[in-house]
Structure 1
Amino acid sequence: MNKVQSRFARPKGMDHESSSNLYVANCGPAVGISFDNIESVFGTFGKVIGIYAADETGTRVIVCFHEVSAAQAAFKALNGSSCSDLGGRTLHIRYSISQPPQKVLGDDSLPVSLLASELAIPGIYLEHEFITLKEEQELLAEVDTRPWKRLSKRRVQHYGYEFLYATKNVDSKQFLGELPSFVSHIVKKIMLFPGLDDDRSKQVDQLTVNEYPSGVGLSPHIDTHSAFDELIFSLSLAGPCIMEFRRYPQGTWHAPAAAIGNNPQQFSNFTRKAIFLPPRSMLLMSGEGRYAWHHYIPHHKVDTVGGHVIKRSSRRVSFTFRKVRKGPCCCEYRQYCDSQKS
């Protein structure tokens, strides 16, 4: 079963009912539905010859049947209906047609750096083996004894201050308490992070723990300038991933997806760089790398690094340490700054 990036597209304006391929939305690994599960359900209507990721989100797939009649039967039975065998999700289906192969975000045409010096983005640092294997296991055990808050694609825990996803900010007046004692040794090691001389800038008071199932990533974004100070530390645990950085030519203080519909040309070309984050590594985003580059984790189950295919673990857990900002941001990157937006 071929499960690589799709060569198919959802046609615009009309459905090609003569096609044996179906574009299926609200279905894929990012919403907890495996390709094997999809094949099992759609296979009841006829022989399935391929399942492909429709795009990088992990929430849309292309199901390819051997016969057109099988695609038509599946469309009639499943489109707009809640499917109990696919987690009760309501599927939105269209017929799909073949298109020429295109380069896609996250493909192996993008070189992946192993070191921050290779990445060459000012303000981005990476230290491998920041903690030991034993410390990693202890941190995971600690968070697994505490309650998780479930989002649509992952689970989170917040300490110090809660991050509010609706506003992409924090309520600095709602203090949850000091950071838990089980990360005190991490906070101390942050103060010793190489390359930074101002100890005051390395003080942190907010922690977000993210658990990513296999295949789930993170949408491109810049951490809101007005929410947090300059330094953002992210510790990777349990599994590896690739993090991609993007610099958009005109700049934007918000996630680009919100603006693409209004001004697609502005976001059609951008600079892309990627770095491999192994377990137990600590990433620091500061300066230009924190304020002006969007960071993004592709929604992949496998990553290609130096010609080698690396399968993601069943879970990846990140500990992101930040300092809540008490006033407006006055950085030099005005075009990316919500405090200074016109």
Structure 2
Amino acid sequence: MGLPRFGRPIDGKSSPNLYVANCGPAVGLSFNTIATVFSTFGEVIGVYAADESGTRVIVSYVEESSAQAALKALNKRPCPDLAGRFLHIQYSIVQPPKQVLTNDSIPVSLAAKDLNIPGLYLWPEFITSAEEEELLASVDDMPWKTLAKRRVQHYGYEFIYETRNVNTSQHMGELPSFVSHILERIMKISDFDDAANIVLDQLTVNEYPSGVGLSPHIDTHSAFDGLIFSLSLAGPCIMEFRRYTDGAWLQKPDLDADSKEENSDCGSNFVRRAIYLPPRSMLLFSGEARYAWHHYIPHHKVDLVKDNVIKRGSRRVSFTLRKVREGPCKCEFPQYCDSQS
């Protein structure tokens, strides 16, 4: 979905479009709220993100006179209907089409069932805000291992990035007590019976600074069993899923975000889906979603979700809980399985 691109008029003349600073989703003002306030001066065509900050928008009117009236009434003064924000407004013009902010034309879903990926589940608000703060405080009291672009902690077994596997002969002990209530809650998930039968014994905590993502990959089949849980904390993000045509994924390196940037998209070689992961949500990979779909976090500081600009937080922390596999994988997807190919 491409958004109009705007710039400042060269000759300083007025136009039906206004650039409005100190106003946008990042300061708690939705596009709908902004449009409602500015529509008191005339018919509004739309409200758009002016850039990736989430604090500057473009308000586009049908009539130039409406923009003139709004600028005269609202510029350089607080607006009670917009949380008292002190607005800075100037005229703007439409420039040649260019994608200003997109998710590469992928519609972003809010529910896992809308993606039509068998085995993928999402539970929003899996934990409370208080529990989220306690989990973050617990890991911040523990030592971090610094990678090129993010920090990690491993419990139970260390994940070896060079081999994308674990050394099962080096057990680091039981999972920390601060995730005990998370494990108990997983066992009580009513809409996924197998959750009660799994004993998760490996935890990786990842801290992603704003703008840092993860390149497309499938967790190594031989390393972990069929259920992988990922709890999102502190900040939101978009996660993309890719199902490559047979053999196409072999043409593309399975890169980690800490080594180098992802290669350009393969276009017709894969099917793409995307979902919004809010803080405190739990995502489960199982079956086809776990074994056959690459997952990926785009390297963005701002995401577009249902026409709303979502600014990522200063950090996002994920808790990935897994069961280390004993013996080879015997899944139904041998083309993606290191145990069978």
Number of the residue aligned with 1:139? 135
Instruction: Output the CA distance in 1 between the equivalents of 2:224 and 2:250.
Output: 14
Number of the residue aligned with 1:275? 275
Number of the residue aligned with 1:227? 223
- 1:140, CA displacement in angstroms? 0.1
SS class of match (2:157): coil
Q: Residue 186 of structure 2 contacts residue 196 of structure 2 at CA under 8 Å; is this kept in 1?
A: no
Instruction: Output the CA distance in 1 between the equivalents of 2:221 and 2:190.
Output: 24
Letter of the structure 2 residue corresponding to residue 192 of structure 1: K
2:178 corresponds to 1:182: yes
2:103 corresponds to 1:107: yes
Q: Residue 108 of structure 1 contacts residue 304 of structure 1 at CA under 8 Å; is this kept in 2?
A: no
Number of the residue aligned with 2:319? 319
Cα 1:302/1:199, change in 2 over 3 Å: closer
- TM-score using structure 2 length: 0.66
- 1:294, CA displacement in angstroms? 0.1
Q: How does 1:163-202 map to 2 (within 5 A)?
A: 163-199=159-195, 201-202=197-198
Instruction: Output the CA distance in 2 between the equivalents of 1:146 and 1:268.
Output: 44
2:146 corresponds to 1:150: yes
Q: Residue 221 of structure 1 contacts residue 255 of structure 1 at CA under 8 Å; is this kept in 2?
A: no
- TM-score using structure 1 length: 0.66
Instruction: Output the CA distance in 2 between the equivalents of 1:105 and 1:309.
Output: 9
**Cα deviations by residue, 1:97-155 (Å, 9 ceiling, x for unpaired):** xxx98989962521000001111110000001000000000000000000000000000
Q: Residue 201 of structure 1 contacts residue 231 of structure 1 at CA under 8 Å; is this kept in 2?
A: no
Cα 1:277/1:170, change in 2 over 3 Å: same
Give the number of equivalent residue pairs. 242
SS class of match (1:137): helix
Cα 1:104/1:124, change in 2 over 3 Å: farther
Number of the residue aligned with 1:124? 120
Letter of the structure 2 residue corresponding to residue 146 of structure 1: M
Instruction: Output the CA distance in 2 between the equivalents of 1:305 and 1:265.
Output: 21
Cα 1:145/1:302, change in 2 over 3 Å: same
Q: How big is the alpha-carbon RMSD for the aligned residues of Structure 1 and Structure 2? A: 2.8
Q: Residue 188 of structure 2 contacts residue 196 of structure 2 at CA under 8 Å; is this kept in 1?
A: no
- 1:197, CA displacement in angstroms? 1.5
Instruction: Output the CA distance in 1 between the equivalents of 2:335 and 2:98.
Output: 31
Q: Residue 205 of structure 2 contacts residue 317 of structure 2 at CA under 8 Å; is this kept in 1?
A: yes
Number of the residue aligned with 2:21? none
For structure 1, list consecutive stretches of 5 or more residues without a partner in the other structure: 6-51, 54-99
Q: Residue 252 of structure 1 contacts residue 335 of structure 1 at CA under 8 Å; is this kept in 2?
A: no
- 1:192, CA displacement in angstroms? 1.3
- 1:327, CA displacement in angstroms? 0.6
Q: Residue 219 of structure 1 contacts residue 297 of structure 1 at CA under 8 Å; is this kept in 2?
A: yes
Number of the residue aligned with 1:302? 302
Instruction: Output the CA distance in 2 between the equivalents of 1:201 and 1:318.
Output: 23
Instruction: Output the CA distance in 2 between the equivalents of 1:157 and 1:255.
Output: 31
SS class of match (1:234): strand
Q: Residue 221 of structure 1 contacts residue 295 of structure 1 at CA under 8 Å; is this kept in 2?
A: yes
- 1:196, CA displacement in angstroms? 1.7
Letter of the structure 2 residue corresponding to residue 174 of structure 1: Q
Q: How does 1:231-242 map to 2 (within 5 A)?
A: 231-242=227-238
- 1:325, CA displacement in angstroms? 0.3
Letter of the structure 2 residue corresponding to residue 337 of structure 1: C
For structure 2, list consecutive stretches of 5 or more residues without a partner in the other structure: 6-50, 53-95, 256-263
- 1:198, CA displacement in angstroms? 2.7
Letter of the structure 1 residue corresponding to residue 176 of structure 2: P
Letter of the structure 2 residue corresponding to residue 233 of structure 1: F
Letter of the structure 1 residue corresponding to residue 285 of structure 2: M
Q: Residue 253 of structure 1 contacts residue 338 of structure 1 at CA under 8 Å; is this kept in 2?
A: no
Q: How does 1:327-342 map to 2 (within 5 A)?
A: 327-341=327-341
Q: Residue 221 of structure 2 contacts residue 337 of structure 2 at CA under 8 Å; is this kept in 1?
A: yes
- 1:257, CA displacement in angstroms? 2.3
The share of aligned pairs that are identical, in percent, is 69
SS class of match (1:136): helix
Q: Residue 160 of structure 1 contacts residue 205 of structure 1 at CA under 8 Å; is this kept in 2?
A: yes
Instruction: Output the CA distance in 2 between the equivalents of 1:282 and 1:124.
Output: 11
Higher-Rg member (1/2): 2
Match of 1:207 among 203, 209, 223: 203
**Cα deviations by residue, 1:207-252 (Å, 9 ceiling, x for unpaired):** 0000000000001000000000000000000000000000001157
Instruction: Output the CA distance in 2 between the equivalents of 1:235 and 1:251.
Output: 31
Instruction: Output the CA distance in 1 between the equivalents of 2:176 and 2:202.
Output: 10
